[in-house]
């Protein structure tokens, strides 16, 4: 089971391999669901202080693990994209130039 989990966690490990243990942590819980016919997998990732959760229930452990990892991966990528957009907007505002307060003027 550990080898399967490590194999299926590859997308998340790509995001955290450059970070220290304090900056990134991944936790996986595998268990039987309430009806005992299915398996429940929960994945919790903490990356740069933000927590991402995914859980999936399926008949096979592999399918449940893939679903939970995909859910966490999508959350992380969406958050990363939002952060990038916010940073871009912030940098754009900093680059704006208001010519009205300048002491020097062109052509004078």
Q: What is the largest CA-CA distance in the chain?
A: 83
Q: Does 99 map to a domain?
A: no
- The domain total for the chain is 1
Residue-level pLDDT at 93: 75
Is 105 within a domain? no
Give the tens place of pLDDT for each residue, 70-105. Answer: 999 999 999 888 887 777 777 777 777 554 455 555
**Sequence-separated (6 or more) residues with CB below 8 Å from residue 40:** 29, 30, 31, 32, 33, 55, 56, 57, 64
Residue-level pLDDT at 9? 83
Has residue 101 been placed in a domain? no
Domain-located, residue 10? yes
Nearest one of 88, 38, 81, 92 to 61, comparing CA atoms: 38
Establish if 107 belongs to a structural domain: no
Structural domain including 74 reads 2-93
Does residue 106 have a pLDDT over 70?
no
pLDDT digits (tens, 9 = 90+) for 35-65: 778 999 999 998 888 899 999 999 998 999 9
In a domain, 76, yes or no: yes
Distance CA 43, CA 27 (A): 6
CATH assignment at residue 10: 3.30.160.100
**Has residue 106 been placed in a domain?**
no
Whole-model pTM: value is: 0.71
């Amino acid at each position: 089971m550990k080898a399967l989990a490590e194999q299926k966690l590859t997308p998340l490990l790509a995001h955290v391999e450059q970070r220290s243990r304090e900056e990134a942590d991944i936790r996986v819980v595998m268990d039987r669901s309430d009806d005992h016919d299915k398996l429940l997998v929960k994945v919790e990732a903490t990356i740069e202080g933000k927590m991402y959760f995914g859980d999936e229930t399926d008949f096979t452990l592999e399918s449940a693990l893939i679903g939970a990892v995909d859910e966490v991966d999508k959350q992380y990528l969406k958050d990363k994209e939002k952060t990038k957009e916010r940073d871009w907007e912030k940098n754009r505002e900093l680059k704006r130039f208001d010519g009205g307060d300048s002491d020097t003027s062109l052509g004078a």
